[in-house]
Amino acid sequence: MTSLTLLSPAKLNLFLHITGRRPDGYHNLQTLFQLLDYGDTLSFNTRIDGEITLAPDLPGVAFEQNLIIKAVRALDAYKAVGAGVDIQLEKHLPMGGGIGGGSSNAATTLVALNHLWGCGLNKSQLQNIGLQLGADVPVFINAQTAWAEGVGEALQPIEMQPKWFLVIQPDCHVSTAEIFSHKDLTRDTSAIKVAAFLEQGGQNDCEALVRKLYPQVDNALIWLQKFDRNARMTGTGACVFASFESAEIAHSVQAQLPKHLPGFVAQGVNRSPLYKLLPSS
């Protein structure tokens, strides 16, 4: 096989608890990563001359700073393959949205090239490489909806009941670094068990701060909570979401979106298309 086209899926944090700050400056978290059947599309075509290409360019992102290229470099450095690849990106997910666009792209690239280049790395090895690129990359390599702890790398697959989500993209870019370094961020939420979340739910500890700093997020949630009182923000934002029992209901709410609030409807899935390409760990 010399070519491959894959969905690079979005994720939602169904809740996000910050349970403490580590000595290295990172935060200990609890969250549930829900994978979606919606995302970017990445196409890979191998080449024998060692050249790496990516099209189109992303505005404001230098070639070597793109997480896709960082993933290519990291895999090649680990395995010294020396092969090349042409990568085509069909971008649908917003950057800085809290739905994992860049991390998902990096994970898809690692899994796809491990397969196409015949690197032979197992899932754990790929996740270790991915963790160097970003805390959310391992969950996309794992390719399963999962309960996560630590900095987000300790994963426990979980089967969720099918739901449909309306995801809204406020017109702002939230800096994850800004939120996690902010003095007003809640950092002392008590840890909970999976069963407690499934029974009682949870909150996003970043949401109150982001709503205060970014009125666009606050306004989007005010609108969305008219249809789902449990609507919330994913990750550090800016995207917000609501869940519904059917596609029809989700699409009917989407049809009422104000013109300044773009959004999409997606179904939650327990496995992403990457799962079938994963070697045993």
Domain ranges across the chain: 1-281
Q: In whole angstroms, give the CA distance from residue 119 to residue 39.
A: 26
DSSP 171-209: S----HHHHHH-TT----PPP--HHHHHHH---BTTHHH
Q: Which residues pair with 135 in a beta bridge?
A: none
Cα–Cα distance between 154 and 37 in angstroms, integer?
23
The pLDDT assigned to 166 comes to: 99
For residue 246, the 8-state DSSP code is S
Q: Which residue has the tokens 């989500």?
A: 165
**Residue 54's beta-bridge partner residues?**
87
Give the confidence band of 1 by pLDDT, cuts at 50, 70, 90: confident
How sure is the predictor about 281, in pLDDT bands with cuts at 50, 70 and 90? low
Query: Residue 41: is its pLDDT beyond 80?
Result: yes
Mean pLDDT of the chain: 96
Active site residues: 11, 136
CATH level 3 topology of 1-281:
Ribosomal Protein S5; domain 2 (3.30.230)
Residue where the block lists tokens 């290519």? 72
User: Are the C-beta atoms of 224 and 242 separated by less than 8 Å?
Assistant: yes
Beta strands in the chain (DSSP E): 3-21, 27-47, 52-55, 84-90, 146-150, 154-157, 164-168, 232-233, 240-244, 263-269
What pLDDT digit, counting tens, does each position of 114-145 carry? 999 999 999 999 999 999 999 999 999 999 99
pLDDT digits (tens, 9 = 90+) for 204-232: 999 999 999 999 999 999 999 999 999 99
